[in-house]
C-alpha cells in the first residue's frame, strides 16, 4: 500500500571515519511521481472492476493489471524506510532512533486512517458489527476476515504496518554484516516469502487472507530494500548508455506486468482472485520485478531532463503524491457511492464516468483530509523532534542517534506512502 513521502538523499560523500552523512536533505527526484502514478493505476483497476470492463477480452486484461500498483507502493516503502539503516551501517550515517521512527510512523499513518475509517463506518459500511469495526481500527482485518465495504484496499495498510514492526528486526539481523550479506539475505528471504505464498495457496490451506500477509508480500518490500543497498554501489555505473537508460528500465519493468495480462500465468485479478499455486507465485514474482524496475527507473540520473522525468515531476503529480495516502483510503468508498448515485450497478458499464467522477471527488476529499489529519500530525512530529533536540542540547548531551553539533547531519525522517498501496 503505500503514504506521501519526502525522500532524502546525500549531497556529499563523507570521509570513511565520519559518523554521519554530511550535507543537507534533498528530495529524491521522481519518486513522488511514481507514487502518484501507482495511486492512479489502482483507481483505474477498481473502476474497471466495478464497471465490468475487467471482463472484456484483451482490453480488460491489460487494464486490470494496473493492480501492480500496491507492489510499487511496497517497493517504495522498502526503499525509503530501509535507506536510513543502510546509510547508518554502510555510509557513515547516524544511528536510527527507533522511538523516533515509531513515533513518525504512528503519526503519519494512524490519525488519517482512523478518521477515514470512521467515515467509512458511517457511509458504505453502516451497520458493521462492533468486533469487526475494532479489528479495522487495530489493523487486524486481514487476519480476521474483517474487510469493510468501501475499504477493501485497507489490506495493504495492514501489511505495511506489519512491515514497520518487522523492519528494525530485519535490518538488525541482515545489515549487521557486509553489504553482500544483506543483499543475499534479502534474496533468500524473498524466496522464503514466495514459498509461504505457495503454501497458503495450496488446497489444504484454509486462511485465504494469508495471501496478503507480510510474508506473502515480503519480496516486494525487499525489492525496494535491495535498491537502497545497490544504489550507492552502482550509482556511477548508471550513467552508461544501456544500464542507465530510464526508458529501457520502463520497458523492462512494464513488460513483466504485461506478461501476466497477455498470458494465463498470472491468474485472475486481485490478491484474493482465483489462483493456483503456480499462478500466484509467478504473478507475485513478476509484480516484484515490475516494482523493482519502475522504482529503480525513478532513481536514475538520466531521468532529469527527459519527458518521462518532466511528467513524473510535474505539479499535478507532485500534488497528488502529497495527498496520496488519503486519496488511496477514500477512493473505493467514493467509487461505490458515486456509482450508486448515478444508478450504475456493479459490472454494468460506466467506466469512464466512474473514473472521472471518482478522481475529482476523491481528490477534493483527499486534500481536505490532508489538511485536517495528515499535515497537522506531521507538523506535530517535527515539533516533537525539535523539542527533543533542545532537551538534549540543554543537557549537554547529543540526542540519541545524532552526531555532535559540529558535524552536519542529514534528516533520516521518512514519510513514505503505505501502499496502498497500498491494496495496495
Count of Cβ atoms closer than 10 Å to residue 169 Cβ: 9
3-state SS, residue 19 = coil
Range name among 305-314, 360-369, 399-408 with the lowest pLDDT average: 399-408
At 246 the pLDDT is: 74
Count of Cβ atoms closer than 10 Å to residue 114 Cβ: 13
Evaluate if residue 156 carries a pLDDT over 90: yes
At 138 the pLDDT is: 96
Could you give the percent of the chain with pLDDT greater than 90? 60
Which is more confident, 1 or 9?
Answer: 1
DSSP 213-267: SHHHHHHHHHHHHHHHHHHHHHTTGGGSTTTT-HHHHHHHHHHHHHHHHHSSTT-
φ, ψ of residue 349 to 5 degrees: the values are 80, -170
- pTM strictly above 0.95: no
Average pLDDT, the chain: 83
pLDDT tens digits, residue range 290-320?
999 999 999 888 788 889 999 999 999 999 9
At 144 the pLDDT is: 81
Which is more confident, 128 or 413?
Answer: 128
Contact 267, 244 (CB under 8 A): no
At 423 the pLDDT is: 38
- Largest separation between any pair of C-alpha atoms in the chain: 68
Residue 305 φ/ψ region, left for φ over 0, alpha for ψ in the -120 to 50 degree band, beta for the rest: left
pLDDT tens digits, residue range 315-353?
999 999 999 999 999 999 999 999 999 999 999 899 999
- The 10 Å CB-count burial string (b at 16+, else e) for 318-357 is bbbbbbbbbbbbbbbbbbbbbbeeeebeeeeebbeebbeb
C-alpha cell at 128: 458493521
Amino acid at each position: 500500500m503505500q503514504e506521501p513521502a519526502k525522500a532524502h538523499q546525500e549531497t556529499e560523500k563523507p570521509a570513511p571515519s565520519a559518523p554521519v552523512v554530511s550535507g543537507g536533505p534533498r528530495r529524491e527526484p521522481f519518486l513522488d511521481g511514481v507514487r502518484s502514478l501507482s495511486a492512479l493505476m489502482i483507481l483505474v483497476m477498481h473502476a474497471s472492476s466495478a464497471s465490468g470492463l475487467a471482463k472484456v477480452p484483451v482490453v480488460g486484461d491489460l487494464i486490470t493489471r494496473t493492480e501492480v500498483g500496491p507492489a510499487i507502493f511496497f517497493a517504495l516503502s522498502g526503499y525509503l524506510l530501509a535507506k536510513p539503516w543502510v546509510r547508518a551501517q554502510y555510509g557513515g550515517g547516524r544511528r536510527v532512533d527507533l522511538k523516533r521512527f515509531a513515533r513518525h510512523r504512528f503519526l503519519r499513518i494512524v490519525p488519517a486512517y482512523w478518521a477515514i475509517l470512521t467515515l467509512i463506518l458511517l457511509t458504505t459500511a453502516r451497520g458493521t458489527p462492533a468486533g469487526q469495526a475494532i479489528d479495522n481500527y487495530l489493523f487486524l482485518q486481514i487476519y480476521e476476515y474483517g474487510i469493510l465495504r468501501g475499504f477493501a484496499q485497507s489490506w495493504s495498510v495492514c501489511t505495511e504496518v506489519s512491515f514497520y514492526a518487522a523492519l528494525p528486526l530485519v535490518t538488525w539481523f541482515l545489515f549487521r554484516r557486509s553489504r553482500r550479506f544483506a543483499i543475499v539475505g534479502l534474496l533468500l528471504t524473498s524466496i522464503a516469502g514466495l514459498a509461504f505464498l505457495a503454501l497458503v495457496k495450496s488446497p489444504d490451506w484454509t486462511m485465504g487472507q494469508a495471501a496478503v500477509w507480510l510474508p506473502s508480500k515480503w519480496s516486494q518490500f525487499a525489492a525496494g530494500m535491495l535498491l537502497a543497498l545497490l544504489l550507492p554501489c552502482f550509482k556511477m555505473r548508471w550513467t552508461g548508455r544501456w544500464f542507465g537508460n530510464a526508458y529501457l528500465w520502463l520497458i523492462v519493468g512494464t513488460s513483466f506486468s504485461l506478461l501476466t495480462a497477455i498470458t494465463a500465468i498470472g491468474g485472475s485479478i486481485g490478491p484474493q482472485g482465483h489462483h493456483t499455486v503456480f499462478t500466484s507465485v509467478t504473478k507475485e514474482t513478476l509484480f516484484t520485478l515490475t516494482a523493482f524496475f519502475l522504482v529503480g527507473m525513478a532513481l536514475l540520473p538520466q531521468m532529469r531532463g527527459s519527458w518521462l522525468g518532466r511528467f513524473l515531476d510535474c505539479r499535478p503529480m507532485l500534488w497528488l503524491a502529497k495527498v496520496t495516502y488519503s486519496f488511496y483510503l477514500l477512493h473505493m468508498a467514493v467509487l461505490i457511492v458515486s456509482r450508486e448515485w448515478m444508478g450504475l450497478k456493479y459490472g454494468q458499464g460506466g467506466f469512464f464516468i466512474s473514473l472521472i467522477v471518482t478522481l475529482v471527488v476523491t481528490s477534493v476529499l483527499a486534500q481536505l483530509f490532508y489538511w485536517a489529519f495528515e499535515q497537522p500530525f506531521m507538523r506535530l512530529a517535527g515539533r516533537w523532534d525539535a523539542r527533543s533536540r533542545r532537551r538534549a542540547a540543554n543537557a549537554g548531551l547529543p540526542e540519541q542517534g545524532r552526531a555532535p553539533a559540529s558535524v552536519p547531519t542529514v534528516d533520516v525522517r521518512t514519510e513514505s506512502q503505505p501502499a496502498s498501496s497500498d491494496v495496495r
